[in-house]
Structure 1
């Protein structure tokens, strides 16, 4: 049984073979897995009970946020166009004991973790100052616009969540929608959030170009108004976090 033709809720978890752990955080872990001879990225979420919603209605459940986002991205064709990983389904509960020691971080959880199965992206690394390309970066902007058209706000725009996938041709892929929000009404508030996220993407693209050059410009005292602006941008907390996260690692 292949996930393309059937819901993963019906798949026998024993058919999943864990190849390696790719990343791990307090909220989730990502594994490279094999299922019926095909490679996938399995994102496994801790389940400590449903945290519910904020007073403004924002979902605090990371698994539910990511699942709802990918359902919209799949239905709108964003997955098929390659701006985000292909979504292959989800599993409502996996037994950590059956996958020991790979799932050892989940062994003490009172509830079984839930998982999302995604396209595995080999030869990929987070975007950074070294691999940045002026020719390719417009894909990041267009990809975020496509995500918005699908009715999804990403809400976690950092380089660790933008992959450069090597291939013929290379492409940029947005990942990690576990704090994303979904919407159907394109009203003023939603459009303002879209504009804000696009501005962030554009600003970070400029930062990846300018930040490595600033020490040289400062050394030769040739700071223009534009470079002074970028110096302020570099010293902002968000850009410091952004550039700190610009580490080239394979994700999925």
Structure 2
């Protein structure tokens, strides 16, 4: 499934799920499919003091990562939300009043469309299981096999499905780095390895906190 060449009339807004200064997330119906629409505020041109050779547009970062994850089969394995497509630099006027928060932006917004997964909650003491954390580590390893660095592996982006004791979801790739498999550098491989080590460390600390029945060693991650 892919949403290409969407018209405004094809998107039926159901409700707003989340809002930040970077993006707004909606539950929508598109071509008969209930899904999530994440609309990114667009940043302007690179400023003179910002580093060259590094993508800074969060829409480009996130949509590029999801395209790679989709093409590599990671979406199909259920470790990240399925990716349905994107809209780049569109006029928010036909989407009023739902996108009124984008009308005063200097630059037009962009959006991605993702699988809607009900009953998600962040990994925490009350829903921690060794199997779930094992699957999170497996998930980040599969993401890395697609040469995508999540770059924000914190509990806020690690979701469990409340009615499924085994399924977990890695969310939010708006900081992700997507590498060229044939040009990946030693420094980039080291970043991938360090990210796995970070998630493994979180597993160990969270397991210890579960035994103590309070967030203590892992509090800094939250």
With the length of structure 2 as denominator, give the TM-score of the two structures: 0.89
Q: Work out whether residues 96 and 112 of structure 1, in 8 Å CA contact, stay in contact via their aligned partners in 2.
A: yes
Tell me the CA shift for residue 118 of structure 1: 0.7
Q: 2:206 aligns with which of 205, 208, 212?
A: 208
Q: Which has the larger radius of gyration?
A: 1
Summarize deviations over 1:130-184 as a string: whole Å, max 9, x none. 1111122111001101111101111011111111124456411111111111112
Rounded Cα–Cα distance in structure 2 between residues aligned with 1:54 and 1:214: 44
51-60 vs 98-107, which deviates more? 51-60
> Aligned pair in 2 of structure 1 residues 210, 65: CA closer, same or farther (>3 Å)?
same
Rounded Cα–Cα distance in structure 2 between residues aligned with 1:57 and 1:241: 31
Rounded Cα–Cα distance in structure 2 between residues aligned with 1:129 and 1:207: 11
Q: Work out whether residues 30 and 43 of structure 1, in 8 Å CA contact, stay in contact via their aligned partners in 2.
A: yes
Rounded Cα–Cα distance in structure 1 between residues aligned with 2:124 and 2:91: 37
The equivalent residue for 2:111 is 115
Q: 1:131 aligns with which of 127, 130, 134?
A: 127
Is 2:20 the partner of 1:25?
Answer: yes
Rounded Cα–Cα distance in structure 2 between residues aligned with 1:156 and 1:128: 17
SS of aligned partner of 2:159: strand
Q: 1:198 aligns with which of 196, 199, 202?
A: 196
SS of aligned partner of 1:192: helix
The equivalent residue for 1:242 is 221
> Aligned pair in 2 of structure 1 residues 137, 81: CA closer, same or farther (>3 Å)?
same
Rounded Cα–Cα distance in structure 2 between residues aligned with 1:170 and 1:146: 16
The equivalent residue for 1:61 is 57
Cα RMSD for the two superposed structures: 2.3
Rounded Cα–Cα distance in structure 2 between residues aligned with 1:97 and 1:208: 46
Tell me the CA shift for residue 46 of structure 1: 0.4
SS of aligned partner of 2:132: coil
Summarize deviations over 1:60-109 as a string: whole Å, max 9, x none. 11000001111111111111111111111001234434333322321211
With the length of structure 1 as denominator, give the TM-score of the two structures: 0.79
Rounded Cα–Cα distance in structure 1 between residues aligned with 2:134 and 2:69: 19
> Aligned pair in 2 of structure 1 residues 16, 166: CA closer, same or farther (>3 Å)?
same
Q: Number of paired residues?
A: 219
The equivalent residue for 2:172 is 176
Summarize deviations over 1:200-248 as a string: whole Å, max 9, x none. 11111222222354588xxxxxxxxxxxxx96xx2xxxx43423xxxxx
SS of aligned partner of 1:118: strand
Q: Work out whether residues 8 and 95 of structure 2, in 8 Å CA contact, stay in contact via their aligned partners in 1.
A: no
Equivalent positions of 1:83-162 (< 5 A) are 83-162=79-158
The runs of 5 or more residues in structure 1 that have no matched partner are 217-229, 244-252
